[in-house]
Amino acid sequence: MKRRPRRLIADLERRRVIVTTSAGEAFEGILLDADDGHLVLVDAAQLSPNGDRVLVDGQLWLPTAGVAYLQRPEA
Domain boundaries, the chain: 7-64
Name the nearest CA neighbour of 6 among 40, 46, 35: 35
| pLDDT given for residue 75 in this prediction | 64
7-64, which class in CATH?
mainly beta
| pLDDT given for residue 3 in this prediction | 59
Between the CA of residue 8 and those of 5, 12, 52, what are the distances in Å? 8, 7, 29
Regions in the chain scoring below 70 on pLDDT: 1-5, 75
Global pTM value: 0.85
